[in-house]
Every structure is written in C-alpha cells, then in structure tokens.
Structure 1
Amino acid sequence: MEEERKRFYLQNELLRKVITCNEDLQDFEVIGCTLETPKSLDGFMATMYSLEVAVCRKSHDESTYLKLLVKVMKGDDKFRRESLGLILFPNEINTYKNIVPAFKTLVANSKARIDSDSWCPRVYFAEQGNFPGYSDQFETILVMQNVLPLGFTSGPRLNLDKTHLTLMARKIAQFHACSYAMRILGSDVLDQLVAKIIPLNFVQDGKVFFESYDVVFRHSQKRLFKYFDVNPNLLSDANVRTDIETLREKYSSIPSQLMQRCLTTDDVYSVILHGDYNRNNVLFKYDGAIPTDVLMIDFQENRYGSPALDLSFFMYMNMDDNSRETLWNQVLFSYHDELFRCIQELTGLSADDSRLKPYDYENILNHLSRYFIYGAMIAVKFVPTMMASPDEINQIVHYFHNDIHAAGFEKILLEAGGEHANQRIANVMVHCSMSGYMSFLRD
C-alpha cells in the first residue's frame, strides 16, 4: 500500500510540479508515463526511479518524451538519522538548487569558455520537506534528466586510464575555479552558498559524528597495519616506516580525528567541493572506446574545504600502482592547467596579477600536499569493497543496513577483496608517504 502511494505521487503530483516549475515545459501537458525501479540503479541509501513521460504541447499538436530519474531517500527515520541521510540528501538538494545555478550565473556573466551545462545532468526539480502525497516522513526529491539515452554510462569499475583521469581532473577544476573566482572578485555569494551547506563532520563536539564511517575506518586501518606486520619489507624505507608507525600510534584507534583534520578550512584555498568525487559518481560519454566527456552526479557529501579532498579521492581510488607511477604528476598538471585558465577567465585577470599568485602551480601543490592523505585513507576504506566478490558485497550491504557493530561486519571488512586488495591499499599508503603527504605526522 505504501509503495502504491509513492508511485501514485511520482506519476501525478510530482509530474505536475516538474511541468509548472520549468519555464520551457509550461506549455506542455502530460499524456502518459511509465515508472520503473531499475535494480541496476539501486543504492545503499537512495531509491532511484526511472520515469518516462509523454508530453504534448497545448498550443499545437506536438508531443515528445521526457526521460527522467527520480532520487529519494531510503529507510526509516532511524536509518536515515544514523547514516546521516538527513545531512547528505539535503546537501545534495542544495547543490543542485543553489550552488550549481550560482556557479552557472558566474560563468555566463564572465563569458568564460566553460561549458557549465556539461557539469551534471539537467535538474527539473530539487526540493526537501514534507510531501504528504508521497509519505509521512521528511523527504528529499530530486528529478533529473536520464542521460543514459544520450550515451553517458559508467566507466571502468575501478582503474581509469589517462584519458578518463584527465577528463575528471579538468571537470572538477572548472567547478573549483568558481569558488576561487568569487573570492578574488570579493563576491558575497560564496559566503552565502557556504552558509547553506550542512557541516558533514567526522568529529563534532569532541565525539565521533559519522559513526558508520568511523567503524569502517577502524576496521580498514586494522587490516592495513596487519598486512604491514606480515610484510615488513614494504617498510624498508626509513621515512615510510616512520610515517606508518606514527599513523598507527596516533590514529589507528581514532581515524575520524585524522579525517576531521583534513576538513580544515582557510580563506585562500578552500572551495565548495563535490565531496565524493570518484569513478562511482561520474558518467562518461564515449566515441567508440575513447571517453570524450564526463558528468558529475551524486553530490551527497558536498562540503566546503580543500580541493585536495576531491582530487585525492579519485586519484587514489581509481589509479592502480602503475598509473600512480607514470601518470600522477600529469593528472595534477592537467587539473592545475584547467583551474588556472578558468580562474583567469572568470575574473578577467592577467596571469601575472598578484591576486592569482596563491593559485600558481607550486603554491597549489604545496597546499594539496597537506591534505592528500584524505584520499589515501578513503581508498584504504573503499578499495577492498570495490575489489570484493558479489557475495562479499552482499554481506557488507547487509551489515551496513542492519548492524555495523556486528562481529561479522568486521570479519568481512578484513577479508573482502582478498590478497590483491591488501597489496593495493598497502601500496597506496607507501605512495602517500613517499610523496611527502604524510610529513605533517612528524610535526
């Protein structure tokens, strides 16, 4: 009965809202629709509906189809509260409703050569609150264009090549550049946008706030250090050994404090972030086998902080050992090249203007190096799940939804993905140390 209520709302009242709040659709009326819940789009915390709508223009006989996706929260109030869904989903609505439009206005006013329409799918409706026709809970409802028929699709499951990585680096650079441009121009819009972001902390008021993440971080750190104990040859470099030992001593039991350190903000380098920027949350478009464009989706972990959080996440998650060896600096250069170009065009400043000095290549790299451990920690946490078998993934999902403190949850997190996952997360941390990203631990 409850599911019927929801489906009726989505196919009727929600569609009326979509038509009335989009100026280019107000001359159309709905003549039919189909609603499905594709299993392939099912997520940890969200339900996705595929909504195909036949509409006809009132003024003359012209019909067309809208191919839409509807995203809503899963679970009862307890699950939403414990999983921080009541922060994550409102922040995503805020991103699509306020942040992206403000950035697009900046791009349009500056006439910068940035295709801001290619940042993410078109959004037809993004609201939060009470929708009595849908449920009795607080809800967030997001309606966006289904871009799969346009040729956008998920990329490789885990490892990305140079072309994929470069597209991701340049796209997020465009997004970050808008925060820098607003700051340089003295616009108060940036402060207004940041004020609307609900803080998504790892530690708050001296206590662990993101409990589910803290549990997984502690288990993944236990797995990492156990592997180093069995393979001490990986720590043959004295500095690496010191960094790993210091990491274990300071943060193995309180990893959330290290992650909270990475959320430090400042008045020069902090930007509005995607927050969960990795292969899972982008869609690629291809010409044959070659990726030609990328769209950002899933802004649930949107934050304000160092651009290192976005960069380090996808670079450590989606680059294997060989790619880190051969492509790391190239990806960083591509990011900065696009970032600096966009800042210049958005502000109208020349490259040698003193206001752009903090954002030159050397200064940006120096800043990033202080927070790149963020992505390494995330990779240690997530890579084993990405390398897990279907049965292991099912177990992880079961415990995540039902009991994150169960002994079985710890067991599967210590084993998922097997030896290959152990090797990969260990190599991530060795690279992090050898790149100087853990030097702050010695301070």
Structure 2
Amino acid sequence: MNNRQTHSLDKIQYITEENVKLIVTKYGYANDDTIIDNYTVSYASDKMLGFLADYLKLQISVVSNNERKVIFCFIKAISRTNVAKADMVHEMGLFEKESHFYSVIKSNVETAGLRPWSPRLVARLEDALIFEDLSALQYKLRDRHNKFDKQHILQALQTLARFHSSSIIFEEKKSKELERPYRINDEYEQYLGKGGYTKDSSWFVQCRTGALEAVKAFSKYKNNKDLMNNFDRKWCEVFNSALDLCDTSTEYRNVMCHRDLWNNNILFHYKCPSDKNMEPDDCMLVDFQAVRYMPPAGDVMQLLHCNLDPQFRKDNLNEFLNFYYEELKIILWNNKVNIHDIMTKYNFLMSAEKQNQWGIVAHACLVQTFWLDDDLTAEHFDDSGKFNENMSENKASFIKLVIEKDDSYKQMLMKVFDEIIQEYCLK
C-alpha cells in the first residue's frame, strides 16, 4: 500500500498515518496498488454533540485499481481538549467498557439477517473508536429540543427491539450448544457495569442534589413547608432505589440495555429527506458506554421519558409498550425463538410499570445537561474547570443559574421533577 500526500486539518493529532493505513485495510483496500491520496480530520460539529468525548470526522481519499474511492468515518475519542472529561471517562471506565462492547460483545451477538441497530466499528485505537460515518449514509440527528412524534418513537422502539432481541437470540443459541442455560452476564459482567449510575458516584449525587435544590427553589410546592420536608426525606430514596432497577433481575428476563437513550444517541434515516413530513424508515443507536444487563423494559421506559412530551407519553403508553413487545415477538419468531418462553406480555408490562421509576430518574439526571442551548453548553462545559465544577462538584448552583437565565430550561426541568414528586413523593 502506497501513501501519498496525507494531511490533517486538525491541530491536535487524533489520527496518525499508521491509523489511516489500518482503517483503509479494514475497508478491504490492502493490495500494493492502493494509494492513500489524502485524508482530513475535522471536528464533527461546531456544537457539542456529547458531554464526555471529542467527536471528529475522518475522510480518506483512496485510489485503487485506477478508481478513486472516499471512505467516511466517525471518530469518538477520549477528550484531548478537556482534562476533566478525560478524567471522568477514565474514572468510570467508560472507554474500556464501550470499546469491549463494540469489539467483542457486539460482534458475538449480532444476528445474521437482522438489520443493524448501531454503526459498524471499523477500528479500535488506544484512545479512540473509529466507526462508519452514519451521516454519509444519510442518517441524521434531530434537534435535541424537539420531542419525538409518533413516527419517530415507533421507529426508535423498533430499533430497540432489534438490539434487545440480539441478546436473547444469542443466549438461546448458546444455551442449546452448551446444553445448559447461558447468559451474557456470565461471560461479560465486568464490561456491563453500572458506570456513573451508583449511589456514591459524584456525577449521580450531583444530579440528585441539583434536582432537589431546583425543586426547593422553583417548584410550585416550594412554599409548602410540610411537603418540602417530606420531599427532603424521600428524594434520595426515590433516586437511589431507581438504581436498584438497573441490577440484573431475578424476576424478569434480562438483555443488554443501552441506558443512555436521549436524543443525540438516536439517528434516523428518512424515506425522502426532502419531504417536509420527514417520515423515518430506519434508526440507529450510538454511544454504548452505559450498557448494562437488565430487564429490557428499563430501556423502553427511559426512551419514552427522555424523548416524549409527558402528556403524549401517558396518553399513548399502552400503544408504545404493545408495539415494542409485538416487534420483539416477530423478530424472535423469525429466529425460531418463542417470546412466551422468554417473557409473557403480562410480565413485560409489569416490568415496565416498575421500570417507570428508572426511566424518569434517568431522564431527571440527563435533562439537566442535554436541554441546554448550544451557547450555554459551550459556556459551561467546554472549559475543563467549569466542566468539573458543574458535573461533579456544585451542579445545584449551575442548574439554578441556568433556570434564572432560560425559561424554557426551567419549564422542561420542572416538568420532569414535578412528575417525580407526583408519582413517587406524594403517593
């Protein structure tokens, strides 16, 4: 393989020429006649796409057999621009977890003939993961401040069913081969850990405390001293007990769950991108750094809470739960697995009722950052010192500050926090 005129537009060297050669080889261009004409690395967006990594795009121009090809890749790297982000990723073991998930677990559980539910991992580097670029395949992110309509949530539920079914199908096949029950967690438990969702994690403690302080300062109940005293006692219990729902269940069948299903981790493909209605015909999930082995209803409820207007979710909850279950049933049946041997509809619905608490608590943690506008996101999270303070030291002050500046942020957060009060503190 020859190399000619390679270059990077980015000042920070995330990718070396050796990395580029490896990626080109992974795409099947390994013959001596292949020439890497040039390559460019650029940031994926001028806005913050996520909160714990640097995101870039890699474009490689290749000449092979006198034909020019362009390879489009997406890079998720441990941050080199923000020390606090990198420290948090290392502390929680998130890169190792996601890297192992993509390079080992996912490659094992993928089901032949089943449409992909996440992008293909092209290469695993020391501190970065290289994926196929979904935007080059016409997948798009929605505006994170736009809640999903029915078409988008059904498409996301269908993809979630594909993801979850991969776990079940793999386990059932493996159980037959071994002639004994096999569970993914038996083999990969160390890579399916709790991440930041632990009762003593500084990130989770700050999310929990920040939410409570916002309730005390801005909730419609703030002047009722008796109620506020009651909330003070119950708030930690509600948040902490939600984490117990993420443990591997002895009551319900477990699958690998994503657990980070907010808007920016869900990309849609559209039948006709120019159509104003923008009807999706496929969906992909990204960012599996929070993956855990737990009941599938946990993912379903988190997806519904994080991406739907609360009243719309409540009005259509039965339809969405039934849709997911039927999609899972069809996929399993097509792969010779009877869903009734795995999970009856009654059990799934009972599990969903319990996992509602996890869904809303996870939403209450995530919404504190993902509902910020782009300017405030850059202001409060680009700088390493501010990132550490706002995420791990004094999130309550940060939330109060933003609420006083941005009424839409206040309205969104208080909707979520007030629902927790109604469902789990007053009842």
Q: TM-score range by the shorter chain?
A: 0.7 to 0.9
Q: State the TM-score, normalized to the length of structure 1.
A: 0.78
* Structure 2 residue 156 is the aligned partner of structure 1 residue 178: no
Match of 1:121 in 2: 119
Match of 1:163 in 2: 151
* Structure 2 residue 99 is the aligned partner of structure 1 residue 99: no
Report deviation, 1:170.
1.0
**CA–CA distance in 1 between the matches of 2:307 and 2:256?**
22
Give the alignment of 1:73-152 within 5 angstroms.
Answer: 73-75=78-80, 79-84=85-90, 87-104=93-110, 107-108=111-112, 114-116=114-116, 119-128=117-126, 139=127, 141-152=128-139
Using a 3 Å threshold, how does the CA distance of structure 1 residues 45 and 191 change in structure 2: closer, same or farther?
A: closer
* Structure 2 residue 352 is the aligned partner of structure 1 residue 345: no
Amino acid at match of 1:272: M
Q: State the TM-score, normalized to the length of structure 2.
A: 0.80
SS at 1:371's partner residue?
Answer: helix
**CA–CA distance in 1 between the matches of 2:379 and 2:318?**
37
SS at 2:290's partner residue?
Answer: coil
* Structure 2 residue 85 is the aligned partner of structure 1 residue 72: no
* Structure 2 residue 345 is the aligned partner of structure 1 residue 361: yes
* Structure 2 residue 187 is the aligned partner of structure 1 residue 199: no
Using a 3 Å threshold, how does the CA distance of structure 1 residues 406 and 191 change in structure 2: closer, same or farther?
A: closer
Q: Residues 77-104 of structure 1, C-alpha deviation per residue, up to 9 Å, x if partnerless?
A: 7653445565111111122112221122
- Within the candidate set 186, 205, 222, 1:230 is matched to 222
Report deviation, 1:175.
0.8
* Structure 2 residue 407 is the aligned partner of structure 1 residue 401: no
Report deviation, 1:311.
1.7
SS at 2:75's partner residue?
Answer: strand
> What's the C-alpha RMSD, in Å, of the aligned pairs?
3.4
Report deviation, 1:53.
0.6
Report deviation, 1:318.
1.2
Report deviation, 1:430.
5.9
**CA–CA distance in 1 between the matches of 2:288 and 2:223?**
38
Using a 3 Å threshold, how does the CA distance of structure 1 residues 393 and 33 change in structure 2: closer, same or farther?
A: closer
Gaps of 5+ in 1: 129-138, 236-240
Report deviation, 1:142.
0.8
**CA–CA distance in 1 between the matches of 2:61 and 2:220?**
58
Match of 1:212 in 2: 203
Residues 37 and 61 of structure 2 are in contact (CA less than 8 Å); yes or no, is this contact kept in structure 1? yes
Q: Residues 254-275 of structure 1, C-alpha deviation per residue, up to 9 Å, x if partnerless?
A: 6763343122212542211122
Report deviation, 1:386.
3.9
Give the alignment of 1:259-408 within 5 angstroms.
Answer: 259-267=242-250, 268-286=252-270, 287=272, 288=275, 289-346=278-335, 348-350=336-338, 355-356=341-342, 359-397=343-381, 398=383, 401-404=387-390
**CA–CA distance in 1 between the matches of 2:92 and 2:19?**
21
* Structure 2 residue 54 is the aligned partner of structure 1 residue 47: yes
Q: Percent identity?
A: 18
SS at 1:283's partner residue?
Answer: strand
Residues 314 and 375 of structure 1 are in contact (CA less than 8 Å); yes or no, is this contact kept in structure 2? yes
Report deviation, 1:422.
4.4
